[in-house]
Structure 1
Amino acid sequence: MTDSVKTGPRISRRRLLGTAGAALAVSPFTFNIVRAQEGPIRVGFPVPLTGPYGAEAQDQVRAAQVAVAEFNETGGLKGRQAELLVRDDKLNPGEAATRALELIENDKVSFIVGSLSASVQLAVNNVTKARKVLYNSISQSDTINEASDFSRYTFHEALNPHMTAGAVGRYAFPKFGKKVVFLTADYAYGHEMVRGFQEAGKAFGIETLADIRHPLGATDFSTLLPRIQAMKPDMLIISNFGRDQQIALKQATDFGMKRTMKILAPILLYTGRIAAGPQAFEGVIGGTSYYWGVEDKIASAKAFNDRFRKQFDGRVPSDYGSLAYGGVKTLLMAAREAGSTDPEAVIPALEALKYDYYKGAQYYRKCDHQSVQSVFIIESKSKDQRNESDVFNVLATEEPDEAHLRSCEALGHHG
């Protein structure tokens, strides 16, 4: 009688008995470990393919596929190939938790990478940390770094709101005035972005005139915008995402608000700018973890972009796509370094990893496994475009610096 492993070598029970000892070989738990270490390296990938963030999620899938292809083409892990198992979490925490549990229990994934919402990633993290499965989140969240939600199995490739809003604020506040109104998506992403701006603004004496909140998936901001105009702020900071951002910027433009105030966003989305066109985004300043145009100055960006173009008919990767690439690639490369997919071997390899895969130097801070990285400050452009993908100017780069992160102590990590 033999037990076979898909895409891996056939392993006889007699051989297991001879190499591991009879007592161990007959244990189903031990046999499952051997199977897991011999078969394909499965990477679970739950993202919101349906819903308002679908365009961003689809690009995340493409970029993750690039990371898997590169790993496999360079030999995998001692010949073991990686597989990407994509699941639709529907931008719903309960759905995401269910998909994560299925990936772990039914599909026997070694790692999980994904999410595109603060609350969804926390739901996935609750599942993975309870089952001691490595999870690399590729969506912004401050909470996932805090001791209450963090675990040693939790890594965070994405920027977090404190880093992102802080970088944009430090660039903008000295230039555009002190009176600020926030238009904020009423969930963790929006709340944490506002907090990040206000923390950064203390050094510049900014005054918050109002924080006006709207539900996720809003389609009409026309009742809110006149209120904002009446307050006469120097800056309007729109802290939302995906289609919400596109609609809010289009309507703010239609209301003529750019003539009387500077409009900022913590994150300007490449996919959103492409979808909405130049007029809505014209002159808006924001931050990003990645813009393909940095390839002129960063060699790893050029290599990543070229591979992405080759694999996907000349397309360039988006900002959130690049996070998926980094999130998958760091886990696979750390597994290769460790010579194993065992999380107890991969975790120290990840903690020691100094990498430059697509945007310049990065590393994971040990206390909270946050990726320390640059933030690019960008402005949307409407003329002098070299091609249809040339949609942003990079105004400045805030280089990687732990001083721009919340301290380990503030996050609740001690010792």
Structure 2
Amino acid sequence: MSKISALGRIPRRTILRAGVAAGALQIASPFILTARGETPVKIGMVNPLTGVLSALAQSEVDGAKYAEAELNKKGGILGRPVELLVEDSANDVGTGVQKTRKLIDRDQVNVILGDVNSGIAAAMGQVTNEKKVFHIVPGGHTDTITGTDCHWNVFRVCNTTSMDTAAITPELVKRFGKKWFFVTPDYAYGHSLQDGFIKALKKLGGTYDGDYLPINNQDFSATLIKAKGYKPDVLLNNMGGLTQINCMKQVVQFGLQKDMALGGALFELESVKACPPDAQTGWWAMEWWWNQPNVPEAVKFVADFRAATKKTPSARDWFGYVAMHSVRLAAERAKSLEGPKMAKAMEDMELPPEVALQPGKVRYRAGDHELMPNIFVGQAHPPKSGPDDVFTASTLVSGEQAAGSVADTGCKMVEPS
């Protein structure tokens, strides 16, 4: 671990909804496509642009579109223009699979990206594996995607749930204690996340209770009454997107923050900013953070991104950005857009500093195809020097340290036939 000191401050933007930023990012692509008259490299992206995860999904799309424009300004991929085709999974597995097949069979995409929802991402992986299409999961966290259900063609940008829990658990136990209560979504991500927390907590002698709730749950009163009666040291809000925001609001309405610490794995920039000030609190793990004054590549990226989109990039924007540039890097190394060749080229590939946008070596691990970035552990709080200044990172945990060994993941990679 390394300490972060003297974190710089950059004023934030107001959240842009839906496709406002996306429209601004497409300026270069149509011109280049027309001017060159070449067959584009088509990248299909499936994400839940409607539903409780829509804000997170839109940021991933924004980051990908920003990269699309950037790539086309610099010559595209393998000398061909890049075209990003985006489909809405509507936070539904069946719809996500249908849209994936449509992009591959009808639109003839070369690569697939998605989904924020881990259950959808896993189902998409079965389709892309069957079709031998190179697939990057920007932001679906469930362990099994690069664990027991890993595929030769699937790579992931965001952390596994086990990486996030391994990074934040020691901090929460050290600061507050080891009696915990979980509020967890009842789908693949939630189960994987809570399992990771329980494993890490038990190693430290901790105890726990909690509830699994629907991914789009609205009323948390019964669970919060149960939590108050349990008297935990820490209440962990494992929900995601709009549901996590609603849970945080109700936690402070019940006044639970006065009786117990708050925290968890992820409380993302989009969600922190959507909460009232008294709910902008707790200790969390950020998978990428914009405020890195000692990393010149990150400073430049944030300034350029804000100039182009009028928003400060979040980890989700970074996920989409990295996914697109990873396609370029894999294709250039493989000198091909064929799935098996790109996958082989991506194994143990290190991201250049202008893509990694953080200290140290960031690579796609060969054994399970998981990216190994830093994890930013720190505290959420109301805005300080600017409206996006809602988190202060105190510690960097390396991805390599948090991930453990490939053997621990259960991934047994089967090469394509």
Q: Does structure 1 residue 302 correspond to structure 2 residue 303?
A: no
Could you say what the CA RMSD is over the residues aligned between the two structures, in angstroms? 1.9
Contact 1:76 1:336 in 2 (8 A): no
1:254 aligns with 2:250: no
Change (3 A) 1:9 1:224: closer
Question: What is the SS of the residue equivalent to 1:212?
Answer: strand
- What is the match of residue 21 of structure 1? none
Is the 2:163–2:402 contact (alpha carbons within 8 Å) kept by the matching residues of 1?
A: no
Q: Describe the SS at the equivalent of 2:132.
A: coil
Query: When the two structures are superposed, what TM-score results if normalisation uses the length of structure 2?
Result: 0.86
CA spacing shift, 1:51–1:7, aligned 2, 3 Å = same
Equivalent pairs: percent with the same residue?
28
| Cα distance, 1:170 vs structure 2 | 2.0
CA contact (8 A) 1:166 1:199 kept: no
Q: Gapped runs of 5+ residues in structure 1? A: 1-5, 11-37
* 1:8 shift after superposition: 9.3
- For residues 82-118 of structure 1, give each alpha carbon's deviation from its aligned partner in whole angstroms, at most 9, with x where no partner exists: 1110111101111010000010011111101121111
Instruction: Supply the distance in 2 between the matched residues of 1:359 and 1:104 (Cα, whole angstroms).
Output: 33
Partner of 2:215: 216
Are the equivalent residues in 1 in contact too, given 2:368–2:413 (CA < 8 A)? no
The structural deviation recorded for 1:43 is 0.4
Counterpart contact for 2:162–2:402, Cα < 8 Å:
no
Q: 1:9, CA displacement in angstroms?
A: 7.7
Check conservation: 2:146, 2:411, Cα contact below 8 A: no
Partner of 2:347: 351
CA contact (8 A) 1:77 1:339 kept: no
Q: Give the distance between the partners of 1:405 and 1:106, measured in 2 at CA.
A: 40
**Letter in structure 2 aligned against 1:254:** Q
Return closer, same or farther for 1:160/1:125 CA change in 2, 3 Å cut-off: same
Alignment-derived partner of residue 126 in structure 2: 126
Once the two structures are TM-superposed, the CA of residue 206 in structure 1 deviates from its matched residue by 0.9
SS of equivalent to 2:378: strand
The two structures have a TM-score, normalised by structure 1, of 0.86
**Cα displacement (A) at 1:141:** 1.4
Which has the higher mean CA deviation after the structures are superposed, 70-79 or 364-373?
70-79
Quote the Cα distance in structure 1 between the aligned partners of 2:264 and 2:43: 32
1:332 lines up with 2:328 in the alignment: yes
1:291 to 289, 292, 309: 289
Cα deviation for residue 204 of structure 1 reads 1.6
Give distance in 1, aligned partners of 2:146 and 2:93: 18
Equivalent position of 1:57 in the other structure = 57
Which runs of no fewer than 5 residues in structure 2 stay unpaired?
Answer: 1-32
1:242 aligns with 2:241: yes
Q: Does 1:136 align with 2:129?
A: no
Which structure carries more relative contact order (alpha carbon 8 Å, separation 6+)? 2
* Corresponding residue number in structure 2 for 1:73: 73
Deviation at 1:404, TM superposition (A): 2.8
Deviations for 1:112-169, whole angstroms, at most 9, x for unmatched residues? 112111101011111100000011002211011124x221111111111000111110
Letter in 1 for 2:226: R
**Within 1, Cα distance between the matches of 2:348 and 2:181?**
41
The aligned length equals: 377
**Residue identity in the other structure for 1:299:** P
- Aligned equivalents of 2:358 and 2:153: distance in 1? 24
CA deviation after TM superposition for structure 1 residue 369, in Å: 0.3
1:106 aligns with 2:106: yes
The higher radius of gyration belongs to 1
How far apart, in 2, do the equivalents of 1:303 and 1:53 lie?
A: 28
Query: Residue by residue, what CA displacement relative to the aligned partner does 1:328-367 show, whole Å, maximum 9, x if unpaired?
Result: 2111222123222122321222114111312343111111
Partner of 1:400: 399
One-letter amino acid matched to 2:387: E
CA separation of 1:117/1:414 partners in 2, compared to 1, >3 Å: closer, same or farther?
closer
Counterpart contact for 2:216–2:243, Cα < 8 Å: yes
Residues 25-81 of structure 1, C-alpha deviations (whole Å, 9 max, x = no match):
xxxxxxxxxxxxx62100001111111111111111110011112222222234201
| 1:265 counterpart = 2:264 | yes
Using the alignment, how far apart are the partners of 1:55 and 1:371 within structure 2? 23
Cα separation, 1, equivalents of 2:54 and 2:146: 25
